[in-house]
Structure 1
């Protein structure tokens, strides 16, 4: 099949979250199975430095009065995956991030920026002659691409099947109605059964309503978003479309995330050489100028610092573990009050806590290899990728039983691989952390047994790609 895959971020070109990891890995996995996948993404500032030389340029005109939209044909060097970059200096070349400025404020023209991206993809999916390649499937990801489905609906022409993947329903891309005219979409789409959303218009809702299939990034999250607790105002819409909703778990690229192959960590190790993980633990302690004591566990965090991720709960639960002798190493950024609170925790426990505000891909690898347990106390979690990375590194996840965390981390059963709690409150999280601490410091082999279980699970893209192929084929048969 020929699959046109549209995303607003793709690793290794740009990354703000798990979407980039998925968009960078799933197309590669599909291509390995023989399918012809091409990507589309904006040409953000400095992106051209990270791709192969441009092979072809196509001018799509100036439909949004912000300058010509240029499609640049190239490929991602690491994977040789073909990609079309949508270039428009006024829309995409910003000094700050892809969606927000350095103060965390959404760009005022995001509705136009991602309307342009969506319009370009919709145009290519209809007119393959422009690039000499006609897609069989259009695969959209999150709100930034949802308007592509709206354009195809608005143009009232027969088009290829559309799949919309929801990576996080909380971000629905809703805008004031006064901005709708800027999209050049038909006002016929603005009703409660279309893209109207509580007096605004939602790009994600457009992707949901006008697609042929909706997927979420885990089976449990697909069920959770049908409820008012997790549905973020879209649960009613989703319940009316349950027949086209599918939960397919994200995979992991083990070429990027495996302690056997990782070129960034201090020493490679595997299931059979698990003792070498201690070398990485020592290296992490040294890097953070913490006492080199291997007898106490290190708890790790790699996360956006938000209440969604339960990082406010961890602030309250952590002192009890620190007072037992545990350590905390954290990498993340987000809410300013949480950043400040964690830096204050570091001040209070300078020999046990190391906080790094920001994000570093390399450091996240060293952290995963060096800590004993990874904390993910999320209030909701569509899939979660850090726990999948942690499992491969023999780093035991401590998770709340929600979304993809519930699908991948188990404290009981035949093959326990972590620690699980149910309620989003401090006592439940603290109790799970104490269970982990006690297991680590006990003289039995329960902690190492869990580590070996964790490393033996297979969450590779190869293990889930067939589900995607089956879904695509079912749509092209209809």
Structure 2
């Protein structure tokens, strides 16, 4: 049994902006099911206390950053009974907009201080947890928002527990202008190219990489890609120097949440032996979106941030020719305002075939996964991707670009083919894949075979958890 402190800036079902929340909500639960003592830590954003059990215990950590007391609240997540520490500081975390950006989608100007204070509290709990009755064996950090914790532990020059940093997306490196560094209460000794310095700035993610004992990414292919200048986002040199401690472990899926046989959020449950019932969900989704209800037409779906990283500008270029062949497109997402406007304009041009919903709605994302025939994920890069793993379980065939976790989970050829894959991030390659998917859809036997293959894949956390245990034990040994 290992005691693991798992730190993340968002955790489902408490708060979610992306895949990090899904992983942080599921991996600790899977580890606890294996008998490990895992506790979470996350900021107490506005409204979070309504989603957990009444607070069991409060520990005041003082006011080291001059913004108000940092108070550690001990409680449990109601849905899965997982113990969690919430860091409360009204000035830093209780804001009306999202966890990272304001109402206009702009990063909070004090994010360095917000997540510096969060990281400091993580480090304090990792180093001095025995003072409140629980001492971790391992500290598991996730992304830049927790990376400064490794720097605090380094700067305190004390023996500390092993640190793992998981990179969910290298592009979000949490870098800030040097004039903000004095706010951090960190030693200037750390500001070197072998430390926090990042092209004249300082970076939370680099802190997490440099001072960790192990680095993981969320798929084996992404672990290789980020060693190159094309995918390394300026950190490839740092990562090549540390490749000896780099591991790629594909994310898992919580099939209690994401399984068409158990899903209470969809119109009709179905499984691999009752695939014909998927049609009920398709017709219900078309009706919900006021689209013409023709089951013989291929329906493409998108559940994504609307950004160029996700390749969704390519969809805008390639999809009109498919719409002219009678296909449908249903999109759920938000992101770049220009892309949002372009998708809404596409909906105006094809009101009976295209539905665009700006924003995120968890229940609707389940209905979309169950209702569409194919899910488009044409990402320019994709560390892991979870939507394709969900889609496979729902017999919704992913159409993906061959990169990162998409390359590790979706295959067009061979006896276990489960989707459609294209290589180059351009309109021509995507258009070819779209046409191949349409041709396959028109051959019901070929389509059904791919659906059955897709649903047979097991990306549950159980298998993945064993790989995590190996990494943890390797550090402790």
Q: What interval of TM-score do these two structures reach, taking the shorter chain for normalisation?
A: over 0.9
Q: Which residue of 2 aligns with 1:465?
A: 465
What's the CA shift string for 1:241-283, capped at 9, x where partnerless? 0000000000000000000000000000001101000000010
Q: Which residue of 2 aligns with 1:103?
A: 104
Q: Which residue of 2 aligns with 1:210?
A: 211
What's the CA shift string for 1:206-246, capped at 9, x where partnerless? 00000000000000000000000000000000000000000
Q: Give me the whole-angstrom Cα distance separating, in 2, the residues matched to 1:72 and 1:130.
A: 15
Spell out the pairing of 1:93-172 with structure 2 (5 A cutoff).
93-172=94-173
Stretches of structure 1 lacking an aligned partner (at least 5 in a row): none
Q: Which residue of 2 aligns with 1:267?
A: 268
Q: Which residue of 2 aligns with 1:332?
A: 333
SS at structure 2 position matched to 1:139: strand
Q: Give me the whole-angstrom Cα distance separating, in 2, the residues matched to 1:175 and 1:198.
A: 10
SS at structure 1 position matched to 2:411: coil
Q: Which residue of 2 aligns with 1:454?
A: 454
Q: Which residue of 1 aligns with 2:405?
A: 404
Q: Give me the whole-angstrom Cα distance separating, in 1, the residues matched to 2:44 and 2:121.
A: 13
TM-score by length of 2: 0.99
Q: Which residue of 1 aligns with 2:415?
A: 414
Task: After TM superposition, give the deviation of residue 387 of structure 1 in Å.
Answer: 0.2
SS at structure 2 position matched to 1:127: helix
Spell out the pairing of 1:22-421 with structure 2 (5 A cutoff).
22-421=23-422
Task: After TM superposition, give the deviation of residue 68 of structure 1 in Å.
Answer: 0.3
Task: After TM superposition, give the deviation of residue 288 of structure 1 in Å.
Answer: 0.4
Q: Give me the whole-angstrom Cα distance separating, in 2, the residues matched to 1:13 and 1:263.
A: 19
Task: After TM superposition, give the deviation of residue 291 of structure 1 in Å.
Answer: 1.1
Q: Give me the whole-angstrom Cα distance separating, in 1, the residues matched to 2:166 and 2:33.
A: 21
Task: After TM superposition, give the deviation of residue 441 of structure 1 in Å.
Answer: 1.5
Q: Give me the whole-angstrom Cα distance separating, in 2, the residues matched to 1:54 and 1:428.
A: 54
Q: Give me the whole-angstrom Cα distance separating, in 2, the residues matched to 1:131 and 1:324.
A: 64
SS at structure 2 position matched to 1:228: coil
Report the RMSD for the aligned CA atoms in angstroms.
Answer: 0.5
SS at structure 1 position matched to 2:230: coil
Q: Give me the whole-angstrom Cα distance separating, in 1, the residues matched to 2:130 and 2:235.
A: 37
SS at structure 2 position matched to 1:411: coil
Task: After TM superposition, give the deviation of residue 361 of structure 1 in Å.
Answer: 0.3
SS at structure 1 position matched to 2:338: helix
Q: Give me the whole-angstrom Cα distance separating, in 1, the residues matched to 2:237 and 2:216.
A: 16
Q: Give me the whole-angstrom Cα distance separating, in 2, the residues matched to 1:69 and 1:88.
A: 5
Q: Report if aligned partners of 1:409, 1:418 keep a CA contact under 8 Å in 2.
A: yes
SS at structure 1 position matched to 2:258: coil
Q: Report if aligned partners of 1:7, 1:41 keep a CA contact under 8 Å in 2.
A: yes
Task: After TM superposition, give the deviation of residue 139 of structure 1 in Å.
Answer: 0.2
Task: After TM superposition, give the deviation of residue 413 of structure 1 in Å.
Answer: 1.9
What's the CA shift string for 1:155-192, capped at 9, x where partnerless? 00000000000000000000000000100000000000
Q: Give me the whole-angstrom Cα distance separating, in 1, the residues matched to 2:38 and 2:282.
A: 40
Q: Give me the whole-angstrom Cα distance separating, in 1, the residues matched to 2:414 and 2:449.
A: 13
Stretches of structure 2 lacking an aligned partner (at least 5 in a row): none
Q: Give me the whole-angstrom Cα distance separating, in 1, the residues matched to 2:111 and 2:351.
A: 41
Q: Give me the whole-angstrom Cα distance separating, in 1, the residues matched to 2:158 and 2:436.
A: 59
SS at structure 2 position matched to 1:215: strand
Q: Give me the whole-angstrom Cα distance separating, in 2, the residues matched to 1:199 and 1:414.
A: 51
Q: Report if aligned partners of 1:29, 1:462 keep a CA contact under 8 Å in 2.
A: yes
Deviating more after overlay: 128-137 vs 457-466: 128-137
Q: Which residue of 2 aligns with 1:16?
A: 17
SS at structure 2 position matched to 1:164: strand
Q: Report if aligned partners of 1:2, 1:37 keep a CA contact under 8 Å in 2.
A: yes
Q: Report if aligned partners of 1:296, 1:441 keep a CA contact under 8 Å in 2.
A: no
Q: Give me the whole-angstrom Cα distance separating, in 1, the residues matched to 2:415 and 2:205.
A: 39
Task: After TM superposition, give the deviation of residue 414 of structure 1 in Å.
Answer: 2.2
TM-score by length of 1: 0.99
SS at structure 1 position matched to 2:297: coil
What's the CA shift string for 1:31-81, capped at 9, x where partnerless? 000000000000000000000110000000000101000001000011100
| Divergent runs of 4+, >3 A | none
Task: After TM superposition, give the deviation of residue 129 of structure 1 in Å.
Answer: 2.0
Q: Name the count of aligned residue pairs.
A: 476
Task: After TM superposition, give the deviation of residue 8 of structure 1 in Å.
Answer: 0.1
